Amino acid sequence: MSQPPDNLIELPFGKAAPEEVFEGGPPPPDLRVAAVEACLFANPGVLSTLQLAVALRSDEPTVLSSLEALSHKLVSSGSGLRLVQVAEGWQLRTEARMAPWVAAIRGTKPFKLSRAALETLSVIAYRQPVAKAVVDEIRGVDCGGVLRMLLERGLVRAVGRSDEPGRPLTYGTAPLFLHTFGLRSLADLPNLRDFRALESDDADAGPINVLPFGEPR
């Protein structure tokens, strides 16, 4: 029995159909969004707009337009995936409400932070580079244990030393901080007005799920 040509793809029930191959050029207009989606799906990390443009042999404005269309498509279709813009570029992530089932299939637990950890992380994010003594003073408690946990989780890192006596270490957010909270840069942090809306929150409440933008798929 003769073998099918190389440009045939196998379909259900053993049937085959010609597969259109576009070599050496950009995808046609009707496949641009699908091509961007396929590239993001095939790469578990983050892809920059430039990387996508090079791979698709397209210019960056065309890629950005396709990314916008893809984001709208995922939301409007009720997909369990979301397109997220993070520090270095773009990534497909699971939709936040899917976290319990994604965690179950992956055999992992949801990523949680206590309010004490969130407060410490917030002080570091807004005041970085900042020494531990300053964080302690702002929070009114010793943050040593919480700070160690944030360092172990990779959300913060030592970035230098203060000019104060003893030259204590100073801390700042790590790249994982931006990834975890789906931020393009520190400029995307909420302002003080956003925080005033949270003043009625119970400071003694339990841990908070930190899956606002889902997990990398």
Q: What is the pLDDT of residues 15-70, one digit of tens each?
A: 444 455 556 689 999 999 999 999 999 988 889 999 999 999 999 999 999 999 99
Which pair of structure tokens corresponds to residue 217? 């798929």
Residue 2 has pLDDT above 60, yes or no: no
Amino acid identity at 110: P
Cα three-residue angle 61-67-71, rounded to 5 degrees: 150
Question: Residue 198 sits in a domain of what CATH number?
Answer: 1.10.10.10
Task: Examine residue 34 and state whether it is found in any structural domain, yes or no.
Answer: yes
Q: Are residues 133 and 198 in the same domain?
A: yes
| 107 found inside a domain | no
Which of 79, 97, 120 is the last residue before a domain boundary? 79
> Is residue 8 within a helix (H) or strand (E), and if so which, with residue range?
strand 8-10
pLDDT tier at 217 (50, 70, 90 boundaries)? low
Percent of the chain with pLDDT over 90: 48
Q: Is 216 within the bounds of a domain? A: no
Tell me whether residue 188 is in a domain.
yes
The first and second tokens of residue 15, run together, are 């049937």
Burial of 180 (0-12, 13-18, 19+ CB in 10 A): buried
Does any domain span residue 102? no
Q: Which amino acid is at 114?
A: S
Range of the domain at 34: 8-79
* pLDDT at residue 208, as a whole number: 45
pLDDT digits (tens, 9 = 90+) for 56-112: 999 999 999 999 999 999 999 999 999 988 877 999 988 888 888 888 888 877 667
15 and 75 inside one domain: yes
Amino acid at position 166, single letter: G
Determine phi and psi for 36, rounding to 5 degrees.
-60, -45
pTM over 0.75: no
Q: 201 or 160: whose pLDDT is higher? A: 160
Structure confidence at residue 123 as a pLDDT band (50, 70, 90) = very high
Q: How far is CA 134 from CA 106, 127, 137, 169, in A?
A: 39, 9, 5, 11
Considering only CA atoms, which of 39, 36, 45, 26 is closest in space to residue 66?
36
